[in-house]
Amino acid sequence: MHVASLLVVDSRGIAIRVRDQGTGFDPATLADPQTPENLTRPSGRGTFLTRTFMDELTLQRAAEDQRWGSASSAP
């Protein structure tokens, strides 16, 4: 799978954009990694960690074969 990323740093903060060729997902259906049954799972924390450490997370479906998500954090 091909993954492209873009990092932009300016006076407003840091923006990170990631594009991949994945099939996409519905963020509303993601399991909560903090529940007891998910604590020992070896995966499923990426979106949770991004939301925890960033001021803003935007997930969006792009045109066919392009998926963009972005996260940003102000200084």
> What is the structure's pLDDT at 66?
45
Please give the backbone phi and psi of residue 53, each rounded to the nearest 5 degrees, phi first.
Answer: -95, -10
The Cα 16–Cα 32 span in angstroms is: 23
- What are 68's two structure tokens? 């963009």
- Check if the beta carbon of residue 69 is closer than 8 Å to that of residue 58: yes
Lowest mean pLDDT among 5-14, 43-52, 65-74: 65-74
Taking residues 23-27, report their average pLDDT: 83
Does residue 58 have a pLDDT over 90?
no
- What are 8's two structure tokens? 């932009």
Would you place residue 41 in the very low, low, confident or very high pLDDT band (cuts 50, 70, 90)? very high
Q: Which residues pair with residue 3 across a beta bridge?
A: 20
How distant is the alpha carbon of residue 22 from its chain centre? 13
Q: Which residues pair with residue 73 across a beta bridge?
A: 14
